[in-house]
């Protein structure tokens, strides 16, 4: 049986790539350079937080 710790380990993703400077971020999604789900609009359009499932929120165009 999974424990809360092993469950969280399975759900945690490590992002590679460059970390953007928070003082002057470029337009679009702040995670775009590092995201494996990125699409073209991520470069120009910052996603708004949405409730994707009951109690589960994400700010992502592709989720």
pTM assigned to the model: 0.63
Tens-binned pLDDT, residue by residue, of the chain (63 aa): 555 555 455 555 667 777 777 787 779 998 888 888 889 999 999 999 999 888 889 899 988
| Segments making up each domain of the chain, as ranges | 17-58
Cβ-contact 44, 27 below 8 angstroms: yes
| Phi-psi region at 55: left, alpha or beta (left = phi > 0; alpha = psi -120 to 50) | left
Q: What was the pLDDT predicted at 8?
A: 53
């Amino acid at each position: 049986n999974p424990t809360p710790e092993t469950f969280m380990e399975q759900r945690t993703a490590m992002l590679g790539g460059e970390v953007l400077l928070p003082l002057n971020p470029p337009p679009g999604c702040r995670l775009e350079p590092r995201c494996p789900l990125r699409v073209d609009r991520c470069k120009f359009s910052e996603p708004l937080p949405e409730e994707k499932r009951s109690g589960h929120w994400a700010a992502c165009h592709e989720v």
